[in-house]
Structure 1
Amino acid sequence: METRNGDSPATAESWRFKGNPDLNRASDITIRGVLNVLQQNLHKNGPRPVIPMGHGDPSPFPSFRAAAAAEDAVCAAVRSAKLNGYSSTVGIPSARRAVAEYLSRDLRYKLSPEDVFMTSGCKQALEAIITVLAAHPNANILLPRPGFPAYEARARFCHLEFRHFDLLPENDWEVDLAAVEAIADENTVAMVIINEGNPCGNVFKYQHLKKIAETARKLGILVISDEVYRDLSFGNNPFVPMGVFGSIVPVVTLGSLSKSWIVPGWRLGWLVTNDPNGILKSHGIVASIEGFLNITSDPVTFLQGALPQILENTPNDFFDKIKSTLKECSNILYDRCKEIPCITCPSKPEGSMFGMVKLDLSLLDGIKDDIHFCTELAKEESVIVLPGIAVGLKNWLRVTFAVEPSSLDDGFKRIKAFCERRMRKE
């Protein structure tokens, strides 16, 4: 066979293009990648509905309906016909101003709209700051373990070295600050905290956050504070934004509407520089954030246009109801774990939508590890739970409790039945 010009067709070896292997590996270390594998192992012919206790999207459940004020604001923004054009790459001015005012309520200083950058969800905010910090070839960033694997995936893609510090389950998942100092070096540029905690459901106390700030200042690094679950604390510890300590250490706050307003599909987030001393600007971080946003897609304009009304008009009783339901579900998780010998929840979740549960494989017959446990559970009981290895802790489980309370209770009954069948006879 010949081509039109008489030459032989090109062999596979002669083509000059190929896929990016970093992207192929990225799907293996994301929560969605792991959950997709578990979905494929569901028992397809079972009569019982699937109970999704592995992902952080409670929006399908009646108890977690989005705020009517938010829905009304979006409809009004669409119908205004004023938001059909392109946005500024850093965000619509009214949206930036609204976020600055919203976050300033909890701070000792006032944020400016210029401190706020609108993003397509918190994920793009994460991607922006990780990409910005990957400027130097030897730089490294410190990440919590367990944590949110998107930070690792993005760092790996940007060829930014990452190192892990542990969260301590025996101390309500506080940061091991001695470990932070031990693994940092002259090339460390930042550390990440997630408050309220994903995957642990912890809420950091004021004094612990202050120690984190002081440690970061000592090391000369900035703090990236992922606060996508802010205002969902329902235990004894009130939520404290890391920006409170912006005068001690520069803080980059990441957030979004997704979780607190139960609208993860809206993909509207923000990146905020809490830096009253101007350190981030003088070191080129702010200019680099702007540069990143100049080459990426902007968040949807009508959602940005609706944001001031959403932040201003959502009534407190909406959040009170959500937190009350989350507290009920957290109690179910904690109490039901006590009834199952092979799993232990070291501390009751007090915020976010997740709890970490430790597996005791010595009590189970034929279960090799947490991935095997979750795969067999999906096959036999149609319950999806995330294996802990996906968030950095092997032979643990991350359990999402932001589901309908009755469904959560049913899910734990199925987990208990599964474990009883698998218990070692001796």
Structure 2
Amino acid sequence: MSNGTMNQLTPAPDAWNFAPDEALLGLSALSVRSVLGSIKAGMDPSDDRPVIPLGHGDPSAFPCFRTAPEAVEAVSAALHSGEHNSYPTGVGLEPARRSIARHLSLDLPYELSPDDVYLTSGCSQAIEIVCSVLAGRPGAHNILLPRPGYLFYEARAAFNGMEARYFDLLPDRDWEADLDAVEALADGNTVAMVLVNPGNPCGNVYSYDHLAKVAETARKLGIFVIADEVYAHLTFGKKRFVPMGVFGSVAPVLTLGSISKRWVVPGWRLGWIVTNDPNGVFRRTKLVESIKSYLDISCDPATFVQGAIPELLENTKQEFFDKTVDILRQTADICWEKLKGISGITCPSKPEGSMFVMVKLDLSCLQDIKDDMDFCCKLAKEESVVVLPGCAVGYKNWVRITFAIGPSSLEDGLARLKSFCSRHSETNK
């Protein structure tokens, strides 16, 4: 073919048929990964100190948070068996679903069945699926989300044409949900409200009584509850973990969970959606049918990880969980005590669960700091410490700090944070 012919067949650059979805391109601003990537991009490459990662909730890189040997053995056995190399069913392997149902039923007043469990590629895909099936027709529904909260819910809602409306969590009441605001926000198009327990990003744990009020509010409004319980049982304060599914007979509950946090294996990508619905509301409204249909056109978690789930759940020793919680209790204590002595920031309550705490910035005490994003970028550049700006969880001029790292690294990071705040403090000018 001559060059002349090629030039005739090749369209001009602006003649190709593809045009990007501008809304999709904008959703990366709601991604923790994207925000942290922007902060890390400005770090000083000449700083030879180790980077202290206080911005994300993945402690798996630290030896003290290594997963249970029984979990590793379960995956190894599943691989060596040669029985888990095929495509799984859309909803997930039955032995895995049965095992998860039995495991979660230990905390409930009723028994779950395997048919109540749908396996997903981590909790992120569970959020994607739930937001997709609840959206219905474009513009038909809205969803109520907590603020501060995990903005992945907003991103998935927006992608599916569903409006996100925010109710506040109240810092002076241990981050309880403002249920009066929930009632004021809801209308005839509201389909569900989201509650994260134990809390990301606040480190709170909800009491039985508060969860009961949430269920009664949802029942009154005729909406579902999406209970994000990916940090289930990672509690180390006075309040014990109570699953929202306990109140499934009051209001239908979609429970989202995974092995990522409790077993410290986020890269294994095994999560679930569970229908806590003794009254059968989800079946009558065809929500169950919608979830199954979505799974038929979606990707699956790795089959060998599904195959390992029964042994992983049944054989992991309590000592492993106790050790993880003890380390989190220790690092939460370190974080709480060290933060008290840092100028320009305030921590409203001691974390009791999950891996995070929210800290309020006092910009009047911090010179040359415009807002929370500026604070995090300058901290990363000057001290090689990465924390998450509150804007990434819907709470401007706050920051989220994770304490789920090795204790010595945490103390180092908090010491650098203190030096940074002191250097930028009004009193030093």
Query: Do the structures match in fold with TM over 0.5?
Result: yes
Q: CA deviation at 1:2?
A: 6.7
Question: Cα distance 1:72–1:424, how it changes in 2: closer, same or farther (>3 A)?
Answer: same
Partner of 1:397: 399
Residue identity matched to 1:16: N
Residue identity matched to 2:17: R
Partner of 1:343: 345
Partner of 1:387: 389
Specify every segment of 5 or more residues in structure 1 that has no aligned partner in the other structure, as ranges: none
Question: Cα distance 1:271–1:8, how it changes in 2: closer, same or farther (>3 A)?
Answer: closer
The answer to whether structure 1 residue 56 and structure 2 residue 60 are counterparts is no
The answer to whether structure 1 residue 177 and structure 2 residue 179 are counterparts is yes
The answer to whether structure 1 residue 151 and structure 2 residue 150 are counterparts is no
Q: CA deviation at 1:8?
A: 6.5
The answer to whether structure 1 residue 303 and structure 2 residue 305 are counterparts is yes
Partner of 1:186: 188
Give 1:111-260 correspondences, 5 Å limit. 111-136=112-137, 137-260=139-262
What is the CA–CA distance in structure 1 between the aligned matches of 2:9 and 2:337, rounded to whole Å?
A: 70
What is the CA–CA distance in structure 1 between the aligned matches of 2:52 and 2:259, rounded to whole Å?
A: 25
Partner of 2:110: 109
Q: Are the counterparts in 2 of residues 3 and 9 from structure 1 also a CA contact under 8 Å?
A: no
What is the CA–CA distance in structure 2 between the aligned matches of 1:180 and 1:101, rounded to whole Å?
A: 33
Q: Are the counterparts in 1 of residues 343 and 422 from structure 2 also a CA contact under 8 Å?
A: no
- Structure 1 segments of 4+ aligned residues over 3 angstroms from their partners: 5-9
Question: Cα distance 1:7–1:110, how it changes in 2: closer, same or farther (>3 A)?
Answer: same
Q: Give aligned-pair identity as a percent.
A: 57
What is the CA–CA distance in structure 1 between the aligned matches of 2:10 and 2:184, rounded to whole Å?
A: 57
What is the CA–CA distance in structure 1 between the aligned matches of 2:282 and 2:50, rounded to whole Å?
A: 50
Q: CA deviation at 1:13?
A: 3.0
Specify every segment of 5 or more residues in structure 2 that has no aligned partner in the other structure, as ranges: none
The C-alpha deviation readout for 1:153-178, integer Å capped at 9, x for no partner, is 11111111010000000000000000
The answer to whether structure 1 residue 19 and structure 2 residue 20 are counterparts is yes
Q: Are the counterparts in 1 of residues 343 and 425 from structure 2 also a CA contact under 8 Å?
A: no
Tell me the secondary structure at the aligned position of residue 102 of structure 2: helix
Give 1:315-394 correspondences, 5 Å limit. 315-394=317-396
Partner of 2:287: 285
What is the CA–CA distance in structure 1 between the aligned matches of 2:5 and 2:273, rounded to whole Å?
A: 54
Residue identity matched to 1:248: V
Question: Cα distance 1:295–1:363, how it changes in 2: closer, same or farther (>3 A)?
Answer: same
The C-alpha deviation readout for 1:246-269, integer Å capped at 9, x for no partner, is 000000000000000000000000
Q: CA deviation at 1:23?
A: 2.6
Residue identity matched to 1:174: E
Residue identity matched to 2:13: A
The C-alpha deviation readout for 1:29-88, integer Å capped at 9, x for no partner, is 110000111111111111210000000100010110100000000000000000000100
What is the CA–CA distance in structure 2 between the aligned matches of 1:225 and 1:377, rounded to whole Å?
A: 34
Q: Are the counterparts in 1 of residues 98 and 113 from structure 2 also a CA contact under 8 Å?
A: yes
TM-score for the superposition, normalised by structure 2: 0.98
The C-alpha deviation readout for 1:86-135, integer Å capped at 9, x for no partner, is 10010000000001000000111100100000000011111111000111
Tell me the secondary structure at the aligned position of residue 144 of structure 2: strand
Q: CA deviation at 1:28?
A: 1.2
Residue identity matched to 1:423: S
Question: Cα distance 1:49–1:6, how it changes in 2: closer, same or farther (>3 A)?
Answer: closer
Q: Are the counterparts in 2 of residues 2 and 8 from structure 1 also a CA contact under 8 Å?
A: no
Q: CA deviation at 1:16?
A: 1.4
The CA RMSD measured in Å over matched residues stands at 1.2
Tell me the secondary structure at the aligned position of residue 132 of structure 2: helix
